Amino acid sequence: MTTTTMSQNNYFEFSRIEKSALIVTLIIISINVLLGYRDMALGVATGGLLFTANVVAIRFIVNLLLDQKQTKAFSVFAIILKMILLVALAVGLFVFTKINIYGFFIGVTGVVIVLIGESLRGNK
């Protein structure tokens, strides 16, 4: 049995989870565009991409902690800053653009389903 490890030098390399999440998001977007729901497709794109960015940011912060390059106080600060930025970006997009809230949550749900599925799948 072989085990795979993430590259310690490249923090911004997409893992299987991020690739699968982006593929699922693109599939849902294309279905909505084909059915003629462009506002819904924009919401799905926003939700899927923001939540995937959240997963990448969490992985980046955890890798910094595991490498012991930063202190725990920095990680708490970085996580709070990440949450504030992502919430501010989502609220700004809802207020200033016409993003469909249902599409947004469909995009987020698609990424959550991928996370659960990949976690259950393990290292196969």
CA distances from 52 to 29, 58, 59, 73 (A): 15, 10, 11, 24
86 part of a folded domain = yes
33 part of a folded domain = yes
Q: What does the pLDDT read at residue 10?
A: 58
pLDDT tens by residue, 41-79: 999 999 999 999 888 888 888 887 887 777 778 878 888
Domain carrying residue 111? 16-121
Q: 1 pLDDT band (50/70/90 cuts)?
A: very low
Number of independent structural domains in the chain = 1
7 part of a folded domain = no
3 part of a folded domain = no
Residue that the structure tokens 């976690």 belong to:
119
59 part of a folded domain = yes
pLDDT tens by residue, 21-32: 899 999 999 999
Q: What does the pLDDT read at residue 8?
A: 52
5 part of a folded domain = no
Distance (Å, whole) CA 114 – CA 18: 9
CA torsion, ordered 21, 12, 49, 23, to nearest 10 deg: -30
The amino acid at 51: F
Distance (Å, whole) CA 92 – CA 89: 5
81 part of a folded domain = yes
Q: 88 pLDDT band (50/70/90 cuts)?
A: very high
The pLDDT of residue 89 is above 70: yes
pLDDT tens by residue, 93-102: 888 888 888 9
Give the helix ranges, DSSP H, for the chain: 16-35, 38-66, 72-96, 101-121
The amino acid at 66: L
Distance (Å, whole) CA 119 – CA 124: 11
The pLDDT of residue 113 is above 70: yes
80 part of a folded domain = yes
